[in-house]
Structure 1
Amino acid sequence: MSTHQQGPGTPAEAPGPAVGSGRILSRPVLAWASWDWGSAAFNAVMTTFVFTVYLTSEAFGDEARTSQVLGWGLAAAGLLIALLAPITGQRSDTGGRRKRWLGVNTLFVVVLTGLCFFVLPNPQLLVLGVGLIAAANIFFEFAGVNYNAMLSQISTPSTIGRVSGFGWAMGYVGGIVALVVVLLVFISPVVDWFGASSDNGLNIRLVAVFSALWFAVFALPVLFTIPELPRSTAAARLGFLASYGLLLRRVRQMYRQSPHTIYFLLASAIFRDGLAAVFTFGGVLAAGAFGFSTSLVIVFAIAANVIAAAGAVIGGFLDDRLGPKRVIIASLIGLLVAGSAILLLGTRTYSFFGLEWTSDTTFWVFGLLLTLFVGPAQASSRAFLARLAPVGGEGELFGLYATTGRAVSFLAPTLFAVSIGIFGSQLYGVIGILVVLLAGLILLLPVKPPAQVDRAVLPVA
């Protein structure tokens, strides 16, 4: 069965072998989602909650300086991703090497993550640690381009939303499981063993080895299950710089044939930055504005991931029935309502008919509501683009998806900081996030849904 919707000017058959079926829990989908499960060890453990926290600790010097070095390292990585992602996607599409490059880039992430074991708590090794994490981020994004492009191979037009949602949910749950293992085995071990020692940061350094092995093991199924694309000889002969010329020609042709694809890339870049900020600053607000302890923040993070996973699954089912645009719009409205409630109720205590509504209740209720809507918005955004992807150009389009996202990734953090500066309270940073989400929603409204958009037919060379 072809996995591509037909439209005027669309070839009858996709160039790559499709393995999608009507079943969500099929072998190809489970193998594909296993990569998302495994990648959570890098996302949640290495770059969010454990290793970057280790790098910015006093063991590596002044915390302001370590944070600055980490920021600049990740910024440089983001710039390279923005410049190279579309080309790497294009060349893996046309060279018949989508699966191969998914494997190669994943291997680079695994090796670089494992090498973090050698980053001892020494200020002189800060640059090494940041360099390894930054480089791993680059290859992780490249792998993600090929991984997302496979969505069209392992789903059908009637299941693409549910498959995308299931993948996101697997990522959330995988992150929870990996974090629990790290907490119970390395950070606060239930059994005293040599790896639990914090001497020279041994427990954290072993977390890096664990994360590398976790990712490697769960990345294997997709490499043995999903078939490779056929090779497009003409385009594969293009040199690296010539690939940029082909990219520009394709973007121009896409704009002429399917302008709403370009409009969606721009709109989604904005609201995806707001979605990322919900998780990025959620813990910061919980601790700073609402006074959550470190342990309570971790409990909230676990609950938030569970809720986000459930939201992604539910959103996936609604996506296939109502269309991705409706799911994204509903999710963005839900985010705006929940965020506004946190802002308006604030940290005050209220009494209703003799019952107290505390600041903790405000954040638990509306904070978890925020995460409920993040999952569907992320999953349906990926499904939306997969439905629009030109036949044979899925990797290139998801490369542009990564590039546009990176290009505006400064918006939410900047407005978060500016809002705090204007109003003098951390709580008001929520305004900055809400502004970004609202802007993305406004830009999305005039974009036609995939069912009303013809796919572009791209030139080969």
Structure 2
Amino acid sequence: MSTYQQVPQPADIPEPLPSAGTGRIFSRPVLAWASWDWGSAAFNAVMTTFVFTVYLTSEAFGGEERASQVLGWGLAGAGLLIALLAPVTGQRSDSGGRRKLWLGVNSLIVAVLTALCFFVFPSPGMLILGVALIAAANIFFEFAGVNYNAMLTQISTPATIGRVSGFGWAMGYVGGIVALVVVLVVFIQPVVDWAGASSENGLNIRLVAVFSALWFAAFALPVMFAVPEVPRRARAAQLGFLASYGLLVRRVRTIYRESPHTIYFLLASAIFRDGLAAVFTFGGILAAGAFGFSASMVIVFAIAANVIAAVGAVVGGFLDDRIGPKRVIIGALVGLLVAGSAILLLGTATYSFFGMQWTSDTTFWVFGLLLTLFVGPAQASSRAYLARLAPVGDEGELFGLYATTGRAVSFLAPTLFALCIGLFGSQLYGVIGILVVLLAGLLVLLPVKPPAQVTRAVVPEA
């Protein structure tokens, strides 16, 4: 039996939104919702982590160090725009009864921007275009993620929210495995010789971008038919865009007054989630640049990493419903710090243990995979934590704040990653920046109360 208990809520909380939640993990609404996560892996795993950004930070674009720094600054700029816009876009999709609509629109924009990466040829002059497309796609992907995360309470129950959230993340990782296998056997190391597998002018990698766009678009469709749209609230929906910021401020004040630890968690999660994102964003880059993995070996590592991450997300989801999300997050962050420190300390040197050789490849395989084991539980439980406290009907706005607080500090990991490379002259030392962010997030999280001890706020309609 679960030991997790939510504190009694005020009697004047509005009725729940139209829901497809049944309490069953493998229900049609949950599977359709998780299909979006499955499809999004083509952007997360293939484009931003293991294939396209590795291509974009190769010598063909002006040198690994310079390209990595440009990518870091580009993602930091995207984070700033997300921080400014995400909560209001979430609020307006809630109040306008267009949560599902905007999930579809933003997903389509991500797919189009991803497809346009086909035109990024391997040349230093194309670096800015490639970074601009990836950065812009990240912006709209985050907007889509706000609406997607807000649906969590519609397709789960209080007793299953942790497992459903973990299942969604796991589906994303498994989708990443399948997408990466397709990329490997069709474009990188093709089992059938065909023109699209040619590496001349980066054709095979550019075609991977087109494949990723189609993959994401196809698997984003089921949720549009299986989860009901939220009702329109006329008063809030009539507000102009700028006036929505005034309503946002009033609601944040109310949440802080009635449920301050919700705000504290937003701040803490903002920091550690930036570190979590950096693990995957820069993982493939480090494998290729610092540890000398070939493009095919990066993808093989990525497949293994996604298997481990999926297992971690599922196990973390079950633990979440039993012991609460805070304990899961703390355990995951500690594991990440240990694994990341081992990568940094062992580095690319070769060691001899009892007559056996421990190479740099071994270091990255062992501790790199250990990193991925802990990322999923921290991500899934963070989402489930906030969903438990989201004001009924305003989940999109709160997850918009979730994106904003995250992106408000999203310059931290990319900036520290880039600065450490610049200071020490090696990609490996970018790990220091990521570890600093994860440690800071853990320290800020420690005094925050778990959701079982926090009362859900009731916010003004307009």
Give the TM-score, by structure 1 length: 0.90
State the distance in 2 between where 1:290 and 1:90 align.
44
- The number of equivalent residue pairs is 457
The residue that corresponds to 2:246 in the other structure is 245
Q: 1:44-96 deviations in whole A, cap 9, x for unaligned?
A: 22223333444455666677776565555434332221111000000011111
Which moves more between the two structures, 396-405 or 435-444?
A: 435-444
Q: 1:110-155 deviations in whole A, cap 9, x for unaligned?
A: 2222333344556666555444333322211111100010011111
Instruction: Report the RMSD for the aligned CA atoms in angstroms.
Output: 2.7
Seen in structure 2, the aligned counterparts of structure 1 residues 237 and 69 have a Cα distance that, compared at 3 Å, is same
The residue that corresponds to 1:78 in the other structure is 79
Letter in 1 for 2:251: R
Q: 1:272-325 deviations in whole A, cap 9, x for unaligned?
A: 122223233434444555554544333222211211111000000000011000
The residue that corresponds to 1:150 in the other structure is 151
Which moves more between the two structures, 278-287 or 315-324?
A: 278-287
Contact 1:327-1:376 at 8 Å conserved across structures: yes
Higher RCO (C-alpha under 8 Å, 6+ residues apart): 2
Contact 1:32-1:222 at 8 Å conserved across structures: yes
Structure-to-structure mapping, 1:275-314, within 5 angstroms? 275-287=276-288, 289-314=290-315
Which moves more between the two structures, 82-91 or 209-218?
A: 209-218
State the distance in 1 between where 2:362 and 2:201 align.
40
The residue that corresponds to 2:114 in the other structure is 113
State the distance in 2 between where 1:443 and 1:180 align.
39
Contact 1:98-1:228 at 8 Å conserved across structures: yes
Letter in 2 for 1:328: I
Which moves more between the two structures, 342-351 or 421-430?
A: 421-430
State the distance in 2 between where 1:114 and 1:338 align.
35
SS of match in other structure, 1:230: coil
Letter in 2 for 1:349: Y
Contact 2:65-2:421 at 8 Å conserved across structures: no
Does residue 39 in structure 1 map to residue 69 in structure 2? no
Seen in structure 2, the aligned counterparts of structure 1 residues 419 and 209 have a Cα distance that, compared at 3 Å, is closer
Q: Percent identity?
A: 83
Runs of 5+ unmatched residues, structure 2: none
Seen in structure 2, the aligned counterparts of structure 1 residues 24 and 416 have a Cα distance that, compared at 3 Å, is same
Does residue 169 in structure 1 map to residue 162 in structure 2? no
The residue that corresponds to 2:98 in the other structure is 97
Letter in 1 for 2:384: A
Give the TM-score, by structure 2 length: 0.90
Contact 1:10-1:456 at 8 Å conserved across structures: no
Q: 1:325-356 deviations in whole A, cap 9, x for unaligned?
A: 0101111122223333444555352424x555
Contact 2:49-2:282 at 8 Å conserved across structures: no
Structure-to-structure mapping, 1:233-382, within 5 angstroms? 233-287=234-288, 289-346=290-347, 347-352=349-354, 355=356, 357-382=358-383
State the distance in 1 between where 2:291 and 2:53 align.
24
State the distance in 2 between where 1:385 and 1:22 align.
19
Which moves more between the two structures, 372-381 or 328-337?
A: 328-337
Q: CA deviation at 1:166?
A: 0.8
Seen in structure 2, the aligned counterparts of structure 1 residues 381 and 217 have a Cα distance that, compared at 3 Å, is same
Contact 1:11-1:391 at 8 Å conserved across structures: no
Contact 2:50-2:302 at 8 Å conserved across structures: no
Letter in 2 for 1:450: P
Which moves more between the two structures, 90-99 or 438-447?
A: 438-447
Contact 2:51-2:284 at 8 Å conserved across structures: no
Q: CA deviation at 1:21?
A: 1.7
Q: 1:343-384 deviations in whole A, cap 9, x for unaligned?
A: 4555352424x5555554443333222211111011101111
Q: CA deviation at 1:247?
A: 0.4
Seen in structure 2, the aligned counterparts of structure 1 residues 10 and 148 have a Cα distance that, compared at 3 Å, is farther
Contact 2:184-2:296 at 8 Å conserved across structures: no
